């Protein structure tokens, strides 16, 4: 198998860890939305229910945007680390 096979296995392991991290972060955000956003209740009148739904939407959006920012930073880190390694071995 040689040195190249071990390097490929190392890359796959790194990619697997990266994938696991992203899925765990996604599950955490889903848990946050279900417990935090859906836990908000501002009252029972029509206006309070409307406001409750608007706040839930805003909180869910903020959590989702947080996940997207974390995803972007993680993929950028992984990409630039891979590019720098390729340049170092070239």
Tell me the pLDDT tens digit for each residue of 4-44.
Answer: 667 788 878 888 888 898 899 999 999 999 999 999 999 99
Using pLDDT thresholds of 50, 70 and 90, give the confidence band for residue 1.
Answer: very low
- Rounded-to-integer distance, Cα 18 and Cα 37, Å: 27
- Contacts of residue 48, defined as CB under 8 A and 6 or more positions apart, other chains included, come to 42
Q: How many domains does the chain have?
A: 1
> Which among 87, 76, 75 is positioned nearest to 22, based on CA atoms?
75
Give the pLDDT mean for 70-84: 87
**2 vs 7, higher pLDDT:** 7
Its pTM stands at 0.76
Full residue range of the structural domain in which residue 82 is found: 2-89
Residue 1 has a CB neighbour count (10 Å cut-off) of: 7
């Amino acid at each position: 198998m040689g040195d190249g096979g071990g390097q490929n296995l190392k890359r796959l392991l790194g990619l697997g860890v990266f994938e696991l991290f992203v899925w765990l972060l996604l599950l955490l955000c889903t848990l946050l939305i279900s417990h935090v956003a859906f836990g908000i209740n501002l009252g029972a009148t029509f206006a309070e229910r409307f406001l409750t739904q608007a706040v839930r939407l805003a909180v869910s959006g903020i959590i989702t945007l947080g996940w997207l920012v974390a995803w972007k930073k993680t993929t950028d880190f992984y990409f630039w680390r891979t590019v720098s390694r390729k340049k170092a071995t070239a």
